[in-house]
Amino acid sequence: MTDSIDHWELREKIIELCLWMNSSGLNQGTSGNISARYKKSMLITPSGIPYEQLKPTDICKMSLKHNRLEWSGPHKPSSEWHFHRAILQSNAEYGAVVHTHSTYATALSMAGTRIPACHYMIAAFGGHTVRCSKYATFGTPELSKNILKAMRNRSACLMSNHGMVVAGSDLDKAMWGAVELETLSKQYYLASSLNSIDILSKDEIRRVVAKFQNYGPKSKAQTTNIVGAQQVDSVQNNAQSASTSQPSATKKSPNIKLPVSKR
Ligand SMILES: [Zn+2]
């Protein structure tokens, strides 16, 4: 396949987001990885190379048409190539996948807990929960299987004793989702120290999911700014004002203690 300009732009965008992911604190070292769909292939970060040293030619290219470990490029793909490819293969609408060991999402994953509908932003991931996939050793087909199960009708999941993974229609939306999921994880973690949390009803989350059809980053300019909590807050506040007339919490979740595992 002849490389096009789009191909190289995607490689550059992957590196740009890797660098941003670490500078923002969303990820540490080379523990996270990013992939993007390019025609019938997947572009993915290589294994173990510091992001600062990455060049567009270092990004690995793998076919989406089979499950063999074959790639083009000078380095071996990320050890998590298996679940990146499985997620892209599972849904033709996904154009990118972001995986990080972000602090709060990873902390929740250590408790094996799913995130309930403690905030309406959970609807950004397609439903009233973000599940936590069952543990399996990194880089294994079993981990991919567990993740796909946890992501059924969802665009993200926590990964037990590991981190989180988010899919999106493109790189911007996948990274936006990763930021939102880490924020939601932090909020849920902090709120869990209170005596009770109001959990939104499934009906309310269905309404918000419908409103979210045209929500999220729309352009390259917006993505560059996902970093800014200010913009995220602003978007959230606008959405919140628009939804103030909706029914709110309907069910109490008393005395939530994170160590209680609810996958
Ligand atoms: Zn990982």
**Active-site residue set:** 80
Cβ–Cβ under 8 Å, residues 66 and 139: no
Q: Are 97 and 34 in contact (CB under 8 A)?
A: yes
Distance (Å) from CA 144 to ligand 1 centroid? 12
- Cα 101 to ligand 1 centroid, rounded to whole Å: 6
pTM as predicted: 0.82
DSSP label of 214: G
Structure tokens at 250: 């309907």
Distance in angstroms (rounded) separating the CA atoms of residues 49 and 57: 13
Hey, what's the torsion of the CAs at 101, 103, 104, 110, to 10 degrees? 60
What's the DSSP call for residue 94?
-
Average of pLDDT values for 168-187? 97
Mean pLDDT calculated for residue range 199-224: 75
Answer left, alpha or beta for residue 25, where phi above 0 means left and psi between -120 and 50 means alpha. Answer: left
What is the percent of the chain where pLDDT is above 90?
Answer: 72
CA 179 to chain centre: 8
pLDDT in tens, 22-56: 999 999 888 899 999 999 999 999 998 999 999 99
Closest residue by Cα to residue 166 from 115, 114, 94: 94
Distance 88 CA to ligand 1 centre (A): 17
Beta strand pairing status for 132-133 and 156-159?
Answer: parallel
Please give the Cα distance from 97 to 35 (Å, whole number).
5
Regarding beta strands 60-63 and 156-159, do their DSSP bridges make them parallel or antiparallel, or are they unpaired? unpaired
CATH annotation of 5-243: 3.40.225.10
pLDDT at 196: 87
